[in-house]
Structure 1
Amino acid sequence: MNSFWTVVGFTIRSKLRGKAFLITTLIMVIILCIGSNLPSIISLFDKDGPGKATAIGYIQAEQGNAAEGAAIAKQLQAYYESQAVPDIKLIGYPDAGSPEQNEAELKQAIVDKKIKGYLTFGEKTANGLPAVSYNSEKLMAGSVSTSLASALQVVNVNRILQDSGISEQQKALLFTPVEVESVKIKAGSGVGKGDDKTPEEQGVDIGLATVISLMLFMGIMITGQMIASEITSEKSSRVMELLVTSVAPLKQMFGKIIGMCIIGLGQIVLYGIVIGINLSLPNNQNALQDMNLNLNKVDPLLFMYAIIYYLLGYFLYATLYAAIGSTVSRTEDLGQAVMPITMVSLVSFYISSFSASTPDSMLVTVASYVPFSAPYVMMLRIALVDPPVWEVLVSIAIMVVFILAAGWISAKIYRTGVLMYGKRPSIKEIRKAMKAFKV
C-alpha cells in the first residue's frame, strides 16, 4: 500500500513541478480574470458603449419630401429624448440649398466625428411615412436600424391615433405594456430548493450550469489526457520497464488516476476562487445589481452534485484514458488513439451546452442516464428543472456500476499493455493477452 501512495505523491509532485502545467494553469487563471471582467474591459475601449447615444444627423428642410422627413426626424428626436437612457441622438443641420450640398455637409460631419451617420427621406410609402434610409460608414448597422424602425413605428402609431381623436389618457392606456412574469416553481420532490424562481434567478442557474459543465469538461478532459500522455511517455522512454520491477502495474495505474484527480480538483478549486474574487469586485457587483442577479440565492446542493459528478466523470474517463495510453508506444500515436473517447466527451458536452433552452427534452433526459454524458447533462437538469431525487440516484448508480466495469476492463488492458512495445496491438491481441492475467 505504501508503494501506491508513493505513486500518488510522485504524480502530484511531478505535475506541480512541471513548467508546462504551471504555465497552462496560469494562462487559465488570466483567461478567467479577463472573462469575469470582460464587460468592464470592453467599456474602457468602447467609446460608444452602453449609456452613450449614437449621434445621427438630418437636414432641417422646409420644402418638399425633405420637409416632411424633417418633421418625422423631429418626432423621432422627441421620442428618444423621452427615454431614460436613449441609444440614439438626432442632430439637425440647416438646409444648404440642394440635396448634393446637404449630403456633402452630412458626410463632412461624419469625417469630423460629429455624427455616426445621417438620415435621408424619400417618397411616401404605403404606411403613410416617407421612405427612410440610414447612411453610415459601417457595413453592418443592424442595431441602429432596428432602433430607428421601432421608433418610426411608434411615431406612425402616434400620428394615426392623433388623427383619430382619442384622448391622451386613452393613448397612455393603449401604450402601457402588458407583462407576463415567468416563474419557475417546484411542484414535485426535486433535488433543488423549493422556492419559486424569478427569470433573473433562472438566468443565474443557466449561467452557473454552463460554467459548471465547462469546468467539468475541462477538468475531466485535461487530466484524462495528462494520464494517457504520461503513461505513453514512460513507455516510449523505457522508464516503464524499471517502474514495473518496483511497483505493480495496477498500483501504477490507480496511483496515477488518484494523483491526477487531486490535481484536477485543486485546479477547479483554484479557478472557482479566481472567479469568486473577480465577481466580488465593485465593478462586477454593480453589474450584477443592475441585472438584478443575486448569487447568494444559488442552491448549495448544486455545488455538491457538481463535485459528485466531477468525480464520477473523472474516474470513468480516466480509467479509459489510462487503458488506451498503456497500449500506445509512441506519443505521436496517442492523439489518434484517444480520439474516440475525446469525440464522445465532446458530443456529451455539446448536448449539455445546446440544450439549456430545452432541459426537459427527451434527448436530455436519455443522455442524463448515459454514463459518458451524465456528468454534463444531469448537471444541466439539476440546475434548471429539479429532476426527482430517484432519477439522480439512478443516474449515479448507473455511473458507479459502469465505472467499476470500466475500471476492471481497463486494469486488465493496462496490465497487458504497459509492456507491449512496437506497433499498437490489435483488439484480438489485447483480448488474448488479457485472458492470461487476473485482476
Structure 2
Amino acid sequence: MNKFWIILFHTYFNKLKTKSFLITTLMMVIITLALTNLNNIIEVFDKDSGKEKVGVLDEKGQLYKPFKEQMSSLNKNLQLTEFAGTEKEAEKAVEEGEIAGFVLLRYDDQQLPEAEYKAMSVADSAIYTDLQSGLQQMKTMLAASKINLTPEQLNQLYEPVSFKKVALEENAKTEEELNQARGLVYVLLFVIYFAVIMYASMIAMEVATEKSSRVMEILISSVSPIKQMFGKILGIGLLSLTQLAVLLSIGYFSIKRNMSSLEGGFFDAFGFGNISLSTIAYAVIFFILGYFLYATLAAFLGSLVSRIEDVQQMITPMTLLVVAGFMIAMFGLGKPDSPFIVITSYIPFFTPMIMFLRVGMLNIPVWEAALGISILMATIIFFAVFGARVYRGGVLMYGKSNSFKDIKKALQLTKKE
C-alpha cells in the first residue's frame, strides 16, 4: 500500500509545482475575481457613470420633449440633449467625440413621428433598440390621440394578457424556481464539463510523459497496474480539488465582499442566492463520479501512446463524448422532462451532466437518481478492471500508436506476463 501512496503524492506534488498548473490557477483566480467584481470594473472604465450622450435634432421643435419623456423610462443611462445646430454640425460633433450619436426627428406624410439615427458606428445595438422603442411608444401615443383614445383605453389595449402556469404534479417547481434552477445548473454544468476535460487530459498526458521517458518499465515491474493507475488518477483528482478549493475560497470571499452590488442581478438570476443543500450534494457526487469515469478512460488511453504528440488524437473520442453530453444537457435545459433526456440520463457517459440536470431542475424520485449513480459506479468499476489490464500491457508498447486496435495488443501483452 505504501507504493500506492508514493505514486499518489508523487503525482500530486509533481503537478502542483509545474509552471503550467500555477499559471492556469493564477489565470482562473484572475477570471474569478474579474467576474465577482464586474460591476466595480465597469464603473472604473465607464465615463460619466456609464451614460451615453446622444443629441436630438427636432425639425419641428415639437417632438423632443415627449421623446425624452419616453426615453427616461426606458434607459436611464442614455442622456438625451437637444442639439441646436444643423445636421452637418451634429455630424461634426459626433466625429469629434462630443456626442455618441444623434437622432433626427421629423413628421412623416401622416403627421406621425419618424427618425434617423447617425453615429460613427451602429454596432451598439442596445442604444439603437432603445431609441427605436422610445419612438415607437411616442408614435403609438400620438396615433391614439388622433382617434380620440384616452390614456386609460390605450393602457388597457397594451396591457399584457394574464397567463399563469400551474403544475399539477405534486411538489413540482414553480416557474420562478425553474428559472433559478436552470441558471444554477447551467453554471455547474460548465464546471463539470471543463473540469472533466482538463483533468482527464492531464492524466493521459502524465501517463504518456512517463512512458516516453521509459520510467514505466521500472514502475510496472514493482507496482501493480491498479495501484499505479489509481495512484495517478487520485493524485490528479487531489490536484483538481486543490485548484477548485482555491477558486471557490477566493470566489466566496469576493462575492461576500461585493454582495450588495450583486444582489438582484447576475447573482440572483442564476439562482446563487438560495442554493439547496441537495443540489450541492448532487453536484459534488456527479462531479466526482464523472471525473473518475473519464479519468479511468484517459489513463488507459494514455498508456497506449508512446509519444506525447499522440495523446490528443487518442483521447479525442473521449473528449467528443464529454462534448456530446454537454450539448444534450444544453438542450435539456429547455425540456428537462423530455423522453430523450430521461433515456440519455441513464447512459453512463452522459449521466454526470444529464442526470444532474434532471435532479437540479425536476423533483424526480430518489430511486431514479440512485439508479443513475449505480449505473455510473458499475461502469467506473468495469473500466477500472478492464483499464488496469489494458494499462499493464499498454505501458509496455512502444512505437507509433494511433489506432484503437492497440487495445487488443495491450490485452495480449498482459496475458503473456
Which of the five TM-score ranges fits, normalised by the shorter chain? 0.7 to 0.9
SS of 1:140's equivalent in the other structure is: coil
- The equivalent residue for 1:119 is 103
- Counterpart residue identity of residue 285, structure 1: S
Residue 81 of structure 2 corresponds to which residue in structure 1?
A: 91
Instruction: Report the CA distance between 1:195 and its aligned residue.
Output: 8.3
Aligned: 1:407 with 2:377 = no
User: 2:28, 2:254 → 1: CA distance?
Assistant: 14
1:120 alignment partner, SS class? strand
Larger Rg, first or second structure (1 or 2): 1
CA contact (8 A) 2:212 2:308 kept: yes
Residue matched to 1:288: 263
After superposition, give the CA deviation of every residue in 1:176-228 in whole Å (9 maximum; x if it has no partner).
Answer: 55565668x6834xxxxx585463x5444223212211221222222211211
Inter-CA distance 105–181: structure 2 relative to 1 (3 Å threshold): farther
SS of match in other structure, 1:133: strand
For residue 99 of structure 1, what is the aligned residue in structure 2?
A: none
Cα distance in 1 between the residues matched to 2:223 and 2:202: 20
The answer to whether the 8 Å contact 1:77/1:90 transfers is yes
Q: 1:317-349 CA distances to partner (integer Å, 9 max, x unpaired)? A: 111111111111111111111111112112222
Aligned equivalents of 2:162, 2:100: Cα separation in 1: 34
Query: Is 1:216 paired with 2:215?
Result: no
Distance in structure 2 (CA, Å) of the matches to 1:425 and 1:134: 59
Partner of 2:43: 43
Alignment gaps of 5+ in structure 1: 60-65, 97-101, 189-193
Q: Which residue of 1 aligns with 2:57?
A: 58
Identify the range of structure 1 (244-253 vs 116-125) with the bigger mean alpha-carbon deviation.
Answer: 116-125
More displaced 10-residue stretch of structure 1: 149-158 or 360-369? 360-369
Deviation at 1:428, TM superposition (A): 5.0
Aligned to 2:218: 242
For 1:226 and 1:169, the matched residues in 2 are separated by: 66
2:139: which partner in 1?
156
Is 1:391 the counterpart of 2:368 in the alignment? yes
Are positions 1:205 and 2:211 aligned together?
Answer: no
Q: 1:339 to 1:75 in 2, by over 3 A?
A: same
Contact 1:368 1:374 in 2 (8 A): yes
Task: Check whether the contact 1:80–1:89 (CA below 8 A) recurs between aligned residues.
Answer: no
Which residue in 2 is equivalent to 1:34? 34
Query: 1:49/1:174 Cα in 2 relative to 1: closer, same or farther (>3 Å)?
Result: farther
Find the aligned partners of 1:175 and 1:408 in 2 and give their Cα distance: 66
Partner residue, 2:87: 103
Q: 329-338 or 156-165: which moved more?
A: 156-165
Find the aligned partners of 2:98 and 2:63 in 1 and give their Cα distance: 21
User: 1:19–1:114: structure 2 CA closer, same or farther, 3 Å change rule?
Assistant: closer
Question: Which residue does the alignment assign to 2:8?
Answer: 8
Q: Which amino acid aligns with 1:340?
A: P
1:311 to 288, 304, 317: 288
Cα distance 1:373–1:76, how it changes in 2: closer, same or farther (>3 A)? same
Unaligned 5+ runs, structure 2: none
Aligned residue in 1 for 2:21: 21
- Match of residue 255, structure 2, among 279, 282, 303: 279
Q: 1:432 to 1:231 in 2, by over 3 A?
A: closer
Distance 1:20 1:226 in 2: 11
Identical-residue share of aligned pairs (%): 33
Secondary structure of residue in 2 paired with 1:57: strand
TM-score, normalising length: structure 2: 0.88
Q: CA deviation at 1:261?
A: 1.8
Instruction: Please give the alpha-carbon distance, in whole angstroms, between the structure 2 residues aligned to 1:186 and 1:234.
Output: 58
What does the per-residue CA deviation read over 1:144-199, in whole Å, with 9 as the maximum and x for residues that have no partner? 2322222222222222332333445444555555565668x6834xxxxx585463
State the TM-score, normalized to the length of structure 1.
0.84
Cα deviation code 1:83-124 (max 9, x no counterpart):
285344432234x6xxxxx11221233245443222225662
Distance between the aligned counterparts of 1:105 and 1:425, measured in 2? 68
Letter in structure 2 aligned against 1:75: P
For residues 414 and 92 of structure 2, the distance between their equivalents in structure 1, rounded to whole angstroms, comes to 84
The secondary structure found in structure 2 opposite 1:119 is strand
- The aligned residue for residue 267 of structure 1 is 243
Please give the alpha-carbon distance, in whole angstroms, between the structure 2 residues aligned to 1:427 and 1:397: 28
Deviation at residue 308 of structure 1 after TM alignment: 1.0
Q: How many equivalent residue pairs? A: 414
Quick check: 1:80–1:87 contact (8 Å CA) kept in 2? no
Per the alignment, residue 419 of structure 1 pairs with 396
Say whether the 8 Å CA contact 2:322–2:350 is kept in structure 1: yes
- Report SS of the residue matched to 2:104: strand
Q: 1:354 to 1:418 in 2, by over 3 A?
A: same
Equivalent positions of 1:169-188 (< 5 A) are 169-174=152-157, 187-188=169-170
RMSD: 2.9
Whole-angstrom CA distance in 1 between matches of 2:379 and 2:411: 19
- The residue aligned with 1:144 is 127
Q: Shift of residue 26 of structure 1? A: 1.9
1:341 aligns with 2:318: yes
Task: Indicate conservation of the 8 Å contact 2:310/2:402, yes or no.
Answer: no
Alignment-mate amino acid for residue 41 of structure 1: I
The residue type paired with residue 56 of structure 1 is G
